[in-house]
Structure 1
Amino acid sequence: MNTRTRIVTPVAAAVVATVSAMALASCVSNEQSLQQWPDAPNPTLALPNGSKLSDNVDDLTSQTTSDTMAGAREAYGSLRPDTDPRTGQEVSPARRVPAIVERGRLVVGVAQSLNQLGFRDPVTGELAGFEIDLAREIARDIFGDPNRIEYRYVEGNDLEDVLSVGTVDLVIRTFTITRPRQEQVEFSVPYLTTYPRILAMRDSGITGEDDLADKTVCVTHDSTNLQELRDEVPHQDILATQTWSDCLMAIQRRQADAIYSDSAILSGLQAQDPYTEIIGDSTDGTDYGVAAALPEDRDTAGLVRQVNSTMDRIRTDGTWDDIYDTWLEGYLGAASQPPAEYRSAADNRELTALRERSGDSGNTEREEEQ
Structure 2
Amino acid sequence: MSVPPTSPSHRATSRVARRTLLGAAGAVAAGAVITPTVMATTDDSEPAATSQDDAGSGTTTETFPRTRAEAASGEAPVEAAFPIGYIGVAWGGTDETTGGGIRLRGADGDQDAWKPLGDGGCSVANGGGVLIAADQAAGYELKAPDGATGLRSLALDTRHGPHRKVQVPTDPTRVRGVEYLSRAAWGADEKLRFKADGTENSPTAFYPFQTITVHHTAMANDDPDPAATVRAIYQLHAVTNDWGDIGYHFLIDEEGRIYEGRYSGDDGMPAHDKDGKVVTGFHVGGFNSGNLGIALLGTFTEQGPKEPAREALTRLVRALVRLHGVDPQARVTYTNPVNGVQKEVSEISGHRDWMATECPGAVMYQELDRLRTSVAAARR
Larger Rg: 1
TM-score range, shorter chain: under 0.3
Greater percentage in helix: 1
